[in-house]
Amino acid sequence: MASSRLLFFLYFLLIQLVALTKAQQPTVEPKMSYHDCVGKGNYTTNSPYQANLNQLLTSIYTNTAIDYGFYDFSLGENADRVQAIALCRPDISPGVCRACIRNASDSLVRLCPNFVEAIGGLDNCMVRYANRSISNLMEKGPYFWVYDDRNNVSDVDGFNRSRMTLLGNLSDKAARGDSRYKYAMDQIDAPNFQTIYALVQCTPDLSASECRDCLYNASGLIPQCCEARQGGRVIYPSCNFWYEIDRFYDPSANAPPPPLPPSPSSTSQGKKSNKSRTVIIAVVPVVSVILIICICIFLRVRKQKEEFEGKFRGFSLMLAYFLKG
């Protein structure tokens, strides 16, 4: 009797605790996985730089035109010019990406008050801003690592070899991406019946060789960050990798991305779009003629429908018309 009363009391206590943590959850702000307030100088509160920074970050996480998870925006002139880059994990939806960028931007601005340059991220995205040009630029620092400190692997050498093979292959594959997507994900069988899953990514403004170099250097940090660990990430401003022994990514994002739409800005592609316009001009009348013929046939067939007693419909009707004629 006494023990069941004690059990009930413990159960009641547990319910209260759960309710308490649930009630407190909305006030808990997302914890940045990593960040650095780069010591390149400060802006003053309420300055045009601050206004531009806030407006720029808002324009990124409210942008619904970009669906490939890479944003490279700038705002302002001269000393008040801010540039910001945001990069999302490739296997999440644009909506989840924007929510992550919003949280990361808010936290970064709060964690780095008045810093002209900063970088930080959550699990799903990275955000950085500066008062200098940061596009098409492979940045060598600052870098970060985040690891999973559950059990360590037993066969470190074997695990290390498999992990290096996988990361090497993925880096080559990511480097071959286009100006919107440079990422790759895959798995490899490691010793002791383990499987290693990995995801690597470059900001797509890098060239193929810059992307490969950046990921090569990032893998070089494994001995410091996560030699024996079952999971880990290294994040550079221009590239990152992430591995785990569980499938942490969505493999359906592995499908080849849609082809790059022709951009009217470059001259060689301008020619291409002229060509496709010519093709459209030639195709439109042909399609119209076929359509008119089809309508005529359809109307004549309908007229003859009363005489026609078969059960044929649609295409069979047209076929019957041709046989008769």
Ligand X SMILES: *[C@@H]1O[C@H](CO)[C@@H](O)[C@H](O)[C@H]1NC(C)=O
Shortest spacing between CB 323 and ligand X, in angstroms? 57
Q: Which of 148, 227, 301, 321 binds ligand X (CB under 6 A)?
A: 227
Q: Is 125 helix (H, G, I), strand (E, B) or coil?
A: strand
Q: Which of residues 65-94 bind ligand X (CB under 6 A)?
A: 79
165 binds ligand X (CB under 6 A): yes
235 binds ligand X (CB under 6 A): no
Q: Which of 113, 251, 257, 258 binds ligand X (CB under 6 A)?
A: 113
152 binds ligand X (CB under 6 A): yes
240 binds ligand X (CB under 6 A): no
Q: Which of residues 180-219 bind ligand X (CB under 6 A)?
A: 188, 213-214, 217
What is the Cα–Cα distance from 168 to 253, expressed in whole angstroms?
A: 20
171 binds ligand X (CB under 6 A): no
Residue with the CB atom nearest ligand X in the bound state: 41
What is the Cα–Cα distance from 97 to 25, expressed in whole angstroms?
A: 21
Report the half-sphere exposure of 195 (CA within 13 A, side-chain side): 7
Spatial CA neighbour of 68 closest among 85, 91, 84:
91
CA distance to 59, 70, 161, 296, per residue, from 84 (Å): 10, 11, 37, 59
Spatial CA neighbour of 98 closest among 130, 125, 123, 75:
125
Q: Which of 75, 208, 225, 228 binds ligand X (CB under 6 A)?
A: 228
Is the link from the previous residue into 142 a cis peptide, with omega within 30 of 0? yes
Q: Which is nearer to ligand X, 106 or 297 (CB)?
A: 106
Instruction: State the residues that interact with ligand X by CB under 6 A.
Output: 29-30, 40-42, 79, 99-100, 103, 113-114, 116, 122, 124, 131-132, 138, 140, 149, 151-152, 156-157, 160, 164-166, 169, 188, 213-214, 217, 223, 227-228
